[in-house]
Amino acid sequence: MSIKQTPWMAAGLSVTLVLFGCAKEEVPSVAKVNGTPITAAQFDAYLEFKRLPGQDDKRREALLDRYLEREALAAVIEQEGGLNNRLMDAELNEFRKEMVISRYFDQFLREKVSDEAVQNYYATHASDYEDRKVHVAHILVRTQRGMSEVERKARLTTAQEAYSKVMAGADFAEVAKTYSEDSISGRKGGDLGWLKEGAVDPRFSETVFSMQPGDVSQPFETAFGFHVVKLLEGPVVVKRPLEAVKGDIRYQLRNQAKQAELERLLSKAQIVKAEGQ
DSSP letter for each residue of 191-259: EEEEEETTSS-HHHHHHHTT--TT-BPPPEEETTEEEEEEEEEEEEEEEPPHHHHHHHHHHHHHHHHHH
Q: Within the chain, what is the greatest distance between any pair of CA atoms?
A: 104
Q: How many folded domains does the chain comprise?
A: 2
d(CA 7, CA 187): 76
First to last CA, the chain: 57
The stretches of 113-148 forming alpha helices (DSSP H) are 115-124
Q: Quick one: pLDDT band at residue 27, thresholds 50, 70, 90?
A: low
Pair (230, 172) in one structural domain: yes
Domain assignment present for 275: no
Assign residue 234 a region: left if phi > 0, alpha if psi is -120 to 50, beta otherwise? left
Residue 110 inside a domain? The answer is: no
137 and 47 within one domain? no
- Considering the domain boundaries, does residue 16 fall inside one? yes
Q: What is the pLDDT of residues 188-247, one digit of tens each?
A: 999 999 999 988 999 999 999 999 999 999 999 999 999 999 999 999 999 999 999 999
Within-domain flag for 233: yes
- Domain hosting residue 43, numbered range: 7-82
Residue 35 lies in a domain: yes
Residues 140 and 220 in one domain: yes
Are 72 and 158 part of one and the same domain?
no
If you ran DSSP here, which 8-state letter would residue 273 be given?
P
Lowest mean pLDDT among 9-18, 103-112, 174-183, 224-233: 9-18
Does residue 197 sit within a domain? Answer: yes
**Residue pLDDT, tens place only, 96-139:** 999 999 999 999 999 999 999 999 999 999 889 999 999 999 99
Query: What pLDDT is attached to residue 99?
Result: 95
pLDDT tens, residue by residue, 127-172:
899 999 999 999 999 999 999 999 999 999 999 999 999 999 999 9
Same domain, 224 and 150: yes
Query: Has residue 69 been placed in a domain?
Result: yes
The answer on 55 and 133 residing in a single domain is: no
Report the CATH number at residue 197.
3.10.50.40
Dist. CA 191–CA 187, nearest whole Å: 9
Tens of pLDDT, residues 63-106: 999 999 999 999 999 888 889 999 999 999 999 999 999 999 99
pLDDT tens digits for 43-55? 999 999 998 886 7
74 in the same domain as 148? no
Residue 212 resides in a domain: yes
Same domain, 150 and 233: yes
CA–CA distance, 236 with 136 (Å, rounded to integer):
12
Query: Does residue 17 have a pLDDT over 50?
Result: no
